[in-house]
Structure 1
Amino acid sequence: MNAKLSNSITELKDRYGIIVIGSGYGGSITAARLASAGYEVCLLERGKEWIPGEFPDEMAEVTAQFRSDSNPLGLYDYRVTEDVDVFVGCGLGGTSLINANVIFKPDDDVFNNSRWPDEIREDRDNGKLNKYFEKANDMLQGAVYPDNRPSLGKIKAHEKSAKDRPGKYYKLNLAVNFEKYNDEPNHVGVHQRPCILCGDCMTGCNVLAKNTLYMNYLPFAKSQGASIITEMEVNYISKADGGGYFVHCTSHSEDKKSRFIHANVVIIAAGALGSTHILLNSRDRGLAVSDKIGHYFSGNADSFGVGYNSDQRTDVLGFGNIRDKRSKIQVGPLILSVIDYRRKELELKDRYIIEEGDFPRAFVDFTRYSMPKISAVAGHDTDFSVIDEASEAARVVRDIAHYDVKGALNHSMLYLGIGHDSADGVIAVDSEGKIRIHWAAAPSKPIFQKIDDEMKQLTKALGGTYIRNPRWTPFFGRNIITVHPLGGCAMGKSADTGVVDHRGRVFDLAQDTSGAVHNGLFVADGSMIPTSLGVNPFFTISALSERIANLIVQDATVNKKPREGALPPPVIISPPLGIEFTTEMNGYFSKSVTNAKTPEDFHKAEKLGKQEGNDIGFKLTAYIDSVDKFVIEPAHDARAEGHIKMGSMKQMVEQGRFNLFIKDPQIHTKRMLFSLQFFGDDGQPCLLDGYKEMRDDPDVDIWEIWKDYTTLFITIHKGNTTRDPVLGQGIVRIHLHDITRQLATIRVRNGSNVKTAFSAKNKFTSFFFGELYETYMKNLLPSQQTHG
């Protein structure tokens, strides 16, 4: 029996040389390499330690392990946000505990994207980056499913479906022990057993066959002296007087205490959502980070589909580590093979892969009962005939009657498509302190439809009924589901383009020097990836983390030793009270009008735009970080996140600002301003510059007030500034029902109790309606005469 890796919380000290936050690929790798270099390392993990043999096997057990506020130690972390659903793991080893084990290197030209720092391209070209890939593969013990093992139904079906398609079929390199270790120590001394082909990789491997981080990097880190503390969730980071950082965290173990721990080096590796959340919380408490924090979120163009009830038996029903009648079939690991559509002559946006999957034991019974109903409502039968219908119906009856390998579900294929999306989603923290992802533009990208269409063709080759991911349908919200979240703390050349540099160092916005960084503060995980990768991403994360760890070891200027002497007390900073609200406007613009100056000019542009069919609109959430600052400062400035809709396409706002009631040099006029940078369909930068004009005019009537407030004059520039050429002009408007919804969306940020929340909301609404009163209403009221 392998020994537990985690230390008791009673062993936690008040300081370390290096603290690593998170035990996914980035965290485990940097902890292992820095500990092996002789530094004192403490790794903090929010989840608990899962020992193989403890993972859930049945549906009730799986359901009980979904993570929530009331169950913070749950293994399965499924986040439902407004535009995207994200599924990741929570436990010692991170998502490696429940992923599909696929070791996949991306195309070299992925790194040609200008978002990647030049140093990454240089290391790709000189061969250094490839050595980091090799180093990671050596530790992860990648292997292809051996030819001498049993021939498996699902990979035979996958290969068959690829024969007349443009993609290339082959078996994948997997982090799975097929035959190397037979209940004996592996390369880091952990006992492993061969894969029994049970298909339960996604719910957790109880066999000791899956090469999770718990089988390699983490035990290696432990053997090199690293401390591992589980059930400890980091909330934010603050700078310490005299150098280093305090890591503010909350224990989910028995004592439930809040703590702060000092380190001279902090490596944030909590994943795309976790690391971004920590840095956003830290920014709210004074840590100066790039304005790009939260940007460049990608779901790696993840797409899901099912080829249900085909003519070919596929053996996709997992049986776990339970020896019963269900274990008589052989499934294999979750993913074994791929159909690769990444031809070099194609642009990256047109390249993708499709991998096969299976149904873990816990989901088999639920799925065989529910799939006939889903198929009847949302399925597309690719080979309709009377005889075929009878065969399909017979297989469905078998499934409904009882578990049967001759049933419809065991004649099905589960597909995962991966490609290149626009990587322009935005991660934010909402008024309740939870992660929110703005990415309404994602479903309109052609790659998702392209992958969906090809999955349908693969299903047709096997004579099945194709069922797309229900969440992607309009009825269920048209949400993307991703198991590969990337970005949020993206690499860049400076704070203008990213959150961290090529070494993973966090840019320091408080310093005037371009490219200045916070000494000793790093990010090393999927959040640093600035683009989609087009393949399963953990191998790339691993290689880049190996690189970051190596550069930290080599850097003599980084103080990696624990602080000596008395620690200064941490400064506990409460985040300012803020406000958020959502606004939506729609209208028309004309490309034939480029020199509108007066309201009459813009109205003409609107009319022409309607005739031309050039509709435009946007949906934005305004984030006011501090109500006090917003009310006092003349600019009344706020961040704006969301999307712009032009025709059928949606484009995410790259950088957005919103200003309320700006006094114009022109007498008796105030303006609301919108400045929204985005990329057009051609990939070129654009700017939507808009203003509402409110006149302090004694002769104004109610109708004029309504028109002023609801009308936004817009100019679209081909570039990022108002000096760039004009693409078109027009008007967007907010309607009465949209105003009602807008008022209902006003939320207080960081309100610790009802009283403070009410105070902040009252301050904002008093300012807003006070400005309206001063501009309009006082002129409509009868003047008061004073009598002596």
Structure 2
Amino acid sequence: MEFRRSGECFAEGACNDYDAVVIGSGYGGSVAACRLAMGGLRVCLLEKGRKWEAQDFPTDTSQMLSAVRIEHRTFGVSFGPKDALYQVCRHDDSVAAMACGLGGGSLVNAGVVVPTPARTRRNPKWPKDWEKDWEVCEALASTMLRIQDVPIKFRNAKIMDEAVGEETGFKNPEPLKLTVNFDTEDQMYSSKKLGKADSCQACGNCMSGCPYNAKNSTDKTYLLSAIQAGCDIRTACEVQYVFRNLDDTSEVDEAICRRKSRRWLVFLNEFECMASDFVVLSAGVFGTTKILFQSQMRGLILSKKLGCGLSCNGNNVAYLSRSRAPLNACGLDRKKLSEVPFEERPGPSITSSYISSLGFTIQSAVIPIAFPWLLFKGITTYGWPIGYSILDSIVHKVKHLFGQPSQDMVLNVIGYDNGDGKLTFRKDANEICFQPPSDPLLARKIEALQRITKKLGGILFMSRYRSTSVHLLGGCCSSSDASSGVCNSNGQVFDTLNLTTVYPGLYVCDGSLIPCSVGINPCLTIATAAEHVSKHLLQDALDYKSKDVDFVVCPVLLT
């Protein structure tokens, strides 16, 4: 399978003219590219990151450190490669982490799949039009992502069942479903049509990228189908902005605008661009919002709500250190893996999930072997222990820093924040800054984690950041009109000429479209919304193509 990098995209003779250009390859962009290509359109997908194979993922600390880019937005400093697998952004008292690569967040998430809760779908911000086909779209996404049940209860899950099971107001949905392959004997998962997936080894390293090719990430599902349908995939291509290709050439070089049969120009820089009739922005919450902000600077008139409605999905992280319980929550390398029976291994990254009646979920997570645990535990991310006196805190902090990680565990909390965060664009630094939403349940989450820690023993360290999110949503929210959102329920971007008119051919199709917290791991919700958007997008594209419009393929001339 061949992927072209940025330098090859604009070589002499390369075709840069398509029916549709999709920007981003996560749970939104991969769906759009797949459905458009299968519908017979000429599609090109652009991905900022690289293609990651199973053997490329970091398996030790030195490799992990070279796979991370950290940007401190408050001080304006950054380090790490721009195409690093992990993109970590810190601003004031909050931190957000994203993935970069062909497959987006599906490469390094835990793959937990949960249907969108009824509470979320009753939210006044939730688009009512989505309800018309939500179950159908959700079933399509579930099938494409090849969801499977976790086959056994691993030790970590059994211990958490005992600790959390006694907590009133918590329930454990059974069984937990993941986008992970546990059975290579099933012919469906080894067919060439869907792509070969090896079996999960229960090594616990999902969140550093599966080194055993067992995760059903979007590059092995939706994108594989898109490629088979003729979609062109180009990596190492970071889009800067989009420009509406009008007859008026006063603002753009005439040689570029001569291709008047295409409605949009997609710019990677001031000199290299592609032409298409449909542009699908699916670069994630930060990426999509940044592209629209930069497009706005170049004349695209957008809703004043651009950047508003940011949700961190009520995401907080805690660390349980030096528990007396045999948690078995640290990843195994290949050598140790061969010495441990399957049922005694850590299991996938997340094997237990507990839903509170208050509306938040607590999940136990395995620490990948490649994570620099000393740094992860006590130096940069985590502050003082929770619920201790000052003297005890100092003692426990020292023990925490120099203790071994064998009986440690990450606790991930997901819930409902107020969705009132905001993204802004700093023109001088060409970067997105963010203000996290308020979280009315934070105190209740800490109380629940303290009770669990008391039962398991050990020391609880809450993240020092007010928000630690890997589940960003919003920023280009769907709404009924431009006064309250950036897009309509079909993902079409409002042009604000009046409240409901849209830009022809310009769509948003990723998590930035979701207008509120979803309360659970959001990957299935994003893919389901993308299926809904893609259905209308494909029909729009086919209707447009059926008109008497010149669709002769011709490369864009560049200066």
Report the TM-score when normalising by structure 2: 0.86
Alpha carbons 1:375, 1:465 under 8 Å: kept: no
CA apart distance, 1:106: 2.2
CA apart distance, 1:557: 3.7
CA apart distance, 1:216: 0.7
1:283/1:69 CA distance change after superposition, 3 Å: farther
CA apart distance, 1:372: 11
Say yes or no: does 1:55 pair with 2:57.
Answer: yes
Which residue of structure 1 lines up, in the alignment, with residue 68 of structure 2?
66
Q: Distance in 1 between matches of 2:4 and 2:186?
A: 25
Which residue of structure 2 lines up, in the alignment, with residue 281 of structure 1?
294
Residue type at the aligned position of 2:354: I
Q: Distance in 2 between matches of 1:69 and 1:12?
A: 33
Q: Distance in 2 between matches of 1:99 and 1:541?
A: 14
Secondary structure of 2:239's aligned partner: strand
Secondary structure of 1:208's aligned partner: coil
Residue type at the aligned position of 1:246: L
Q: Distance in 1 between matches of 2:93 and 2:506?
A: 31
Q: Distance in 2 between matches of 1:260 and 1:69?
A: 28
Which residue of structure 1 lines up, in the alignment, with residue 532 of structure 2?
547
Residue type at the aligned position of 1:161: A
Q: Distance in 2 between matches of 1:493 and 1:21?
A: 24
1:665-744 matches, cutoff 5 A: none
1:451-498 deviation digits (Å, cap 9, x = unpaired): 1211111111212221111224xxxxxxx1100011010000011111
Counterpart pick for 1:179 among 183, 190, 212: 183
Which residue of structure 2 lines up, in the alignment, with residue 236 of structure 1?
241
1:691-717 deviation digits (Å, cap 9, x = unpaired): xxxxxxxxxxxxxxxxxxxxxxxxxxx
Alpha carbons 2:203, 2:337 under 8 Å: kept: no
Say yes or no: does 1:499 pair with 2:486.
Answer: yes
Counterpart pick for 1:517 among 502, 520, 523: 502
CA apart distance, 1:182: 7.5
1:80/1:562 CA distance change after superposition, 3 Å: farther
Counterpart pick for 2:101 among 80, 84, 91: 91
Secondary structure of 2:289's aligned partner: helix
Give the count of matched residue pairs: 520
Secondary structure of 1:266's aligned partner: strand
Q: Distance in 2 between matches of 1:20 and 1:137?
A: 22
Counterpart pick for 1:205 among 197, 210, 219: 210
Which residue of structure 2 lines up, in the alignment, with residue 323 of structure 1?
335
Secondary structure of 1:25's aligned partner: coil
Secondary structure of 1:428's aligned partner: strand
Which residue of structure 1 lines up, in the alignment, with residue 172 of structure 2?
169
CA apart distance, 1:420: 0.5
Alpha carbons 1:198, 1:332 under 8 Å: kept: yes
Counterpart pick for 2:552 among 564, 574, 580: 564
1:446/1:552 CA distance change after superposition, 3 Å: closer
Q: Distance in 1 between matches of 2:501 and 2:477?
A: 16
Q: Distance in 2 between matches of 1:41 and 1:327?
A: 47
Alpha carbons 1:293, 1:489 under 8 Å: kept: yes
Counterpart pick for 1:14 among 9, 12, 16: 16
Alpha carbons 1:111, 1:120 under 8 Å: kept: no
Alpha carbons 1:41, 1:226 under 8 Å: kept: yes
Which residue of structure 1 lines up, in the alignment, with residue 250 of structure 2?
none
Which residue of structure 1 lines up, in the alignment, with residue 464 of structure 2?
470
CA apart distance, 1:190: 1.5
Which residue of structure 2 lines up, in the alignment, with residue 112 of structure 1?
122
1:60/1:169 CA distance change after superposition, 3 Å: same
Alpha carbons 1:318, 1:364 under 8 Å: kept: no
Counterpart pick for 2:135 among 115, 130, 149: 130
Q: Distance in 2 between matches of 1:233 and 1:137?
A: 29
1:463/1:365 CA distance change after superposition, 3 Å: closer
Residue type at the aligned position of 1:34: L
Which residue of structure 1 lines up, in the alignment, with residue 268 of structure 2?
249
Q: Distance in 1 between matches of 2:200 and 2:129?
A: 39
Counterpart pick for 1:264 among 249, 259, 277: 277
Residue type at the aligned position of 2:126: W
Secondary structure of 1:43's aligned partner: strand
Counterpart pick for 1:366 among 368, 374, 385: 374
1:594-618 deviation digits (Å, cap 9, x = unpaired): xxxxxxxxxxxxxxxxxxxxxxxxx
Q: Distance in 1 between matches of 2:383 and 2:484?
A: 48
Say yes or no: does 1:304 pair with 2:317.
Answer: yes
Secondary structure of 1:228's aligned partner: strand
Structure 1 residues without counterparts, runs of 5 or longer: 251-256, 344-349, 401-406, 473-479, 573-788
Say yes or no: does 1:427 pair with 2:411.
Answer: no
1:204/1:276 CA distance change after superposition, 3 Å: same
CA apart distance, 1:144: 1.4
Q: Distance in 2 between matches of 1:373 and 1:52?
A: 29
1:633-667 deviation digits (Å, cap 9, x = unpaired): xxxxxxxxxxxxxxxxxxxxxxxxxxxxxxxxxxx
Q: Distance in 1 between matches of 2:102 and 2:35?
A: 17
Which residue of structure 1 lines up, in the alignment, with residue 197 of structure 2?
192
Q: Distance in 2 between matches of 1:244 and 1:469?
A: 47
Residue type at the aligned position of 2:328: D
Which residue of structure 1 lines up, in the alignment, with residue 33 of structure 2?
31
CA apart distance, 1:528: 0.2
Alpha carbons 1:6, 1:49 under 8 Å: kept: no
Q: Distance in 2 between matches of 1:377 and 1:326?
A: 37
Secondary structure of 2:301's aligned partner: coil
1:390-420 deviation digits (Å, cap 9, x = unpaired): xx99x969x95xxxxxx75322331111000
Alpha carbons 1:24, 1:95 under 8 Å: kept: yes
1:359/1:516 CA distance change after superposition, 3 Å: same
1:567/1:515 CA distance change after superposition, 3 Å: farther
1:292/1:353 CA distance change after superposition, 3 Å: same
1:417-452 deviation digits (Å, cap 9, x = unpaired): 10000101111111311111133x62xx33112112
Q: Distance in 1 between matches of 2:550 and 2:89?
A: 36
Q: Distance in 2 between matches of 1:152 and 1:70?
A: 35
Alpha carbons 2:330, 2:409 under 8 Å: kept: no
Q: Distance in 1 between matches of 2:409 and 2:193?
A: 36
Which residue of structure 1 lines up, in the alignment, with residue 412 of structure 2?
416
CA apart distance, 1:6: 5.2
Secondary structure of 2:412's aligned partner: strand
CA apart distance, 1:541: 0.5
Which residue of structure 1 lines up, in the alignment, with residue 47 of structure 2?
45
Q: Distance in 2 between matches of 1:373 and 1:119?
A: 44
CA RMSD between the two structures: 3.0
Q: Distance in 2 between matches of 1:135 and 1:374?
A: 38
Alpha carbons 1:248, 1:261 under 8 Å: kept: yes
Q: Distance in 2 between matches of 1:456 and 1:78?
A: 27
Q: Distance in 2 between matches of 1:373 and 1:247?
A: 38
1:5-26 deviation digits (Å, cap 9, x = unpaired): 5575358522100000000111
1:238/1:70 CA distance change after superposition, 3 Å: farther
Alpha carbons 1:294, 1:427 under 8 Å: kept: yes
Q: Distance in 2 between matches of 1:499 and 1:270?
A: 16
Which residue of structure 2 lines up, in the alignment, with residue 752 of structure 1?
none
Which residue of structure 1 lines up, in the alignment, with residue 146 of structure 2?
141
Structure having the larger proportion of residues in strand: 1
1:376/1:74 CA distance change after superposition, 3 Å: closer
Alpha carbons 1:55, 1:204 under 8 Å: kept: yes
Alpha carbons 2:154, 2:351 under 8 Å: kept: no
Say yes or no: does 1:314 pair with 2:327.
Answer: yes
Q: Distance in 2 between matches of 1:211 and 1:426?
A: 32
Residue type at the aligned position of 1:248: F
1:565/1:197 CA distance change after superposition, 3 Å: closer
CA apart distance, 1:160: 0.9
Which residue of structure 2 lines up, in the alignment, with residue 718 of structure 1?
none
Residue type at the aligned position of 2:508: V
CA apart distance, 1:379: 5.0
1:304-356 deviation digits (Å, cap 9, x = unpaired): 11222122101111024x22479635111111121111x4xxxxxx4111011
Counterpart pick for 1:332 among 344, 347, 351: 347
Q: Distance in 2 between matches of 1:529 and 1:283?
A: 21
1:376/1:408 CA distance change after superposition, 3 Å: farther
Which residue of structure 2 lines up, in the alignment, with residue 378 of structure 1?
385
Residue type at the aligned position of 1:323: K
Q: Distance in 2 between matches of 1:299 and 1:374?
A: 17
Which residue of structure 2 lines up, in the alignment, with residue 455 of structure 1?
449
